Structure 1
Amino acid sequence: MFRRFIGILLLIIALGGIAFSVIGARLGHQLVDRVATNFTQILLQTSDSLDIASETLLLAKSSIVDVNAVVTTTETTANNLAETVSDTRPLLDQISAVATDQVPDSLETVQAAFPSLEQVAGVIDRTLVTLNSFRIDESIFGFDIQYDLGIDYEPEIPFDQSVRELGDGLEGIPESLRAMESYISVTSDNLETVSQDIRTLADDLETVNGRLLEFDPLLDEYMVMITNVNDSTRQMRAQLEEESGRIKNGITFAMVWLALTQIAPLYLGWELVTGRRERATIVE
């Protein structure tokens, strides 16, 4: 009875070991597949993220090239504008010299001559009036004689008065033109300031452009690094599939080995349960 109990116990242990081997092999394969799948998904997501990062860096590099072109164009335009503003100052100085010096002097000279012109205009006006009034309308020996000089001069405003009004209209203009000198001088100084500011802006743009160009090799290095890491990630995915197959083979081998080790207790337990071991002992 005791031997049969031991045999049943050995059978249970052996069958449990075999069942454990089968279940362990199946669960081990599932566990390895699950872990491999998770790692594959992680590596795949990492690879996709690296691809996106590489495309982003490529877009950033292209954008930097475009910005560099825009900054270069803006810098050139700023330099040209500064040069134009700077070249405007001599012209403004010439205008100032003419408008605030030469023209007022000429106007004052003309104004000084206006009294004489007014007298001459008065003489001319009176002469023309006299000539305009010259008429011959007589009858001589039965012949009507009508004659004039053909001068039609009846102005609403006398010539000398027009000259006087013209001279009066010039009053104050020389002083006003001379007063413009200070404003033109301020404008010239402001143009110089604007020119310097634009040149400073152009220099700053050149500095920014240089710093943008420094990013280009850095982006190339980052892109190479990302490409290498991405290649390593793909290699790890391929190696993971191979290694997971090897691990499953190892689990299968271990479980088969464990199952084979249960043959001896299974056989011994079977003999004890069936009584063969007892009959063999009695026969001996």
Structure 2
Amino acid sequence: MTDTIRRVFGIFLMLLSAAALILTVYGIFQLWEIKASTTESLTYNLEIISTTLTTTSDGLIVVEEALDTAKLNIASLELTTDQLASSIRDTQPMITSLEIMIGEEVPETITATRTSLNSAQSSALLVDRMLQAISNIPLLGLDRYVPNPPLNETLRDVSSNLEDITPSLETMAESLDTAGKNLNTIHGQVIDIGDQIGDIKDNIEDGELVLEEYQKTVADLQLQIQEVSEDVPGAIDRIFWAVTFVLGWLIITQIMMFTVGYDYVINRRVLR
């Protein structure tokens, strides 16, 4: 092969390796240029997630307080129902007082309790959505969050059960107003309501167990986010140094290619 072709090939090899060398060096500088912003961005996003979990934890506290209030109201209502059953069984003059209590006071208590439960249900639904969104973030590598049953559905069932009591109360009020002598019938209705209240109390206790699981899940997520946040700077350093090491080997390779091209140009290497 002629010297001209050998020199042309050598020059081409030198230009190619020089261009690759420049791009590689530029890539290293750009890599370390974005390191700080990358670390800051990841740290910022983790802080947002941590803040969201804190807000979620606060929301669960609100739900817990609402459940405590509902539990107290139900306990009070249960006590009232027991007292009503005893009063109806023992004496007829209590009919007038019972009519007032059943027609006004108890429905007001139920309304207040349902209001608290509806508020707690909204907060629980928001907590569900937050935990599902956080568990779907690929970066965290968390298990998909699928509660069974969701807390908001448990609270909704409790509220629905309370609503079912209202027709019974209305029926009782009408019975007291129109038939003071039907004490046996009224007594049976009070017993039925007492049983329903007992079921609602059980539902609230189930809701408290679900709430405990939610709080444990949030606490675990907060711990995992904290661990990830602490490891982010070191992990990014390791990744950037590994990439830099690879690019460094590429630089050495390009220098060797440039040397080979130079040898062809000065006729120290034969092109076969």
More off after superposition, 255-264 vs 48-57: 48-57
1:36-65 deviation digits (Å, cap 9, x = unpaired): 666656544444443333222222122111
- Whole-angstrom distance in 2 between the partners of 1:55 and 1:238: 23
Q: Percent identity?
A: 21
What amino acid maps onto 1:87 in structure 2? D
Structure 1 regions of 5+ residues with no counterpart?
93-185
| Higher relative contact order, structure no. (Cα contacts within 8 Å, ≥ 6 residues apart) | 1
What amino acid maps onto 1:24 in structure 2? G
Aligned to 2:229: 237
Higher strand share: 1
Displacement of 1:236: 2.4
Displacement of 1:71: 0.8
SS at match of 1:67: helix
Larger Rg belongs to: 1
What amino acid maps onto 2:235 in structure 1? E
Which of 62, 67, 71 aligns to 2:65? It is: 62
Report the CA distance shift for 1:81/1:267 in structure 2 as closer, same or farther (over 3 A): same
Does residue 223 of structure 1 match 2:226? no
Contact 1:57 1:223 (8 Å CA) reproduced = yes
Aligned to 1:201: 193
Does residue 260 of structure 1 match 2:263? no
1:192-223 deviation digits (Å, cap 9, x = unpaired): 32233223212321221122122223321221
Displacement of 1:253: 1.3
- Whole-angstrom distance in 2 between the partners of 1:234 and 1:49: 13
Structure 1 ranges of 4+ moved more than 6 A: 30-38
Which of 7, 11, 16 aligns to 2:10? It is: 7
What amino acid maps onto 1:222 in structure 2? Y
Displacement of 1:25: 2.4
Contact 2:87 2:94 (8 Å CA) reproduced = no
Aligned to 1:23: 26
What amino acid maps onto 1:225 in structure 2? T
TM-score (norm 1): 0.53
Q: CA RMSD in A?
A: 3.3
Contact 1:15 1:262 (8 Å CA) reproduced = yes
What amino acid maps onto 1:261 in structure 2? T
- Whole-angstrom distance in 2 between the partners of 1:71 and 1:6: 92
Contact 1:76 1:202 (8 Å CA) reproduced = no
Aligned to 1:117: none
- Whole-angstrom distance in 2 between the partners of 1:213 and 1:86: 30
- Structure-to-structure mapping, 1:85-234, within 5 angstroms: 85-89=88-92, 187-234=179-226
- Whole-angstrom distance in 1 between the partners of 2:94 and 2:28: 97
- Whole-angstrom distance in 2 between the partners of 1:217 and 1:86: 37
Which of 81, 84, 108 aligns to 1:81? It is: 84
Number of aligned residues? 184
Contact 1:72 1:206 (8 Å CA) reproduced = no
SS at match of 1:89: coil
Report the CA distance shift for 1:246/1:91 in structure 2 as closer, same or farther (over 3 A): closer
- Whole-angstrom distance in 2 between the partners of 1:262 and 1:210: 75
Displacement of 1:249: 0.6
Does residue 50 of structure 1 match 2:42? no
Displacement of 1:260: 2.0
- Whole-angstrom distance in 1 between the partners of 2:84 and 2:45: 56
Contact 2:88 2:94 (8 Å CA) reproduced = no
Contact 2:9 2:264 (8 Å CA) reproduced = yes
Report the CA distance shift for 1:90/1:238 in structure 2 as closer, same or farther (over 3 A): closer
